[in-house]
Amino acid sequence: MWLRKKRRTEGSAEGLKILKKYSGKINAEIKSFCEKLTIKAEHYSASKKKTALVIFCILFSSLSVYIGAQSILQKQFQPRLIFIQPVKIPSHIGKNKEYGKPNSEEEMKSLLKKMEAYENLVDSLKNEKDKPAH
C-alpha cells in the first residue's frame, strides 16, 4: 500500500557485530537445550508426544487469548505510582560545631594554600575576560 511507511532495515556496524556475537551464543544454547530434550523424549511413544503437544498448544494459546482479551477489554490506563518515603535523619546528625574545621596547623596551612590558588585562578579568569578581543 502507498500509505505504509518503509521500514528502516539498515543498522549500525557496531550493532550488527554485537548481534552476530550474541546470536551465535544464543543459537548454540538453543541447540544444546533441544538436544537434551530430544534425548529425554526418545523413549516416549508417539501418543505421549502428541498428547504433550496438544497440552502445550492448549496451554499457551489460552494464555495468549487471555492476554489479548485483557488488553482489549481494559477500558482505562491506570499508571502505577511509586511513592518513595524520605529518609529520616536523626536530629543530632550534622549539628557538630567542630565539623568542617581543620584539626591541626598543617591542615590549616594546606587549606590556606588551596584557597590562595583558587583565588589566583579566579583573578586570572577575570583578567582574561576583561581583555578586549582582537
Q: What is the pLDDT of residue 1?
A: 47
Residue where the block lists cell 548481534: 19
Q: What is the pLDDT of residues 41-60, one digit of tens each?
A: 888 888 988 998 999 999 99
Q: What angle do CA 111, 116, 120 make, to 5 degrees?
A: 150
Sign, CA dihedral 50-56-62-67, equals negative
Q: 117: how many CB neighbours lie within 10 A of its CB?
A: 10
DSSP string for residues in 30-55: HHHHHHHHHHHHTTS-HHHHHHHHHH
Q: What is the pLDDT of residues 61-116, one digit of tens each?
A: 999 999 888 888 876 666 677 778 888 877 767 665 555 565 678 888 888 899 99
What is the spatial distance between Cα 35 and Cα 63, in angstroms, rounded to a whole number? 27
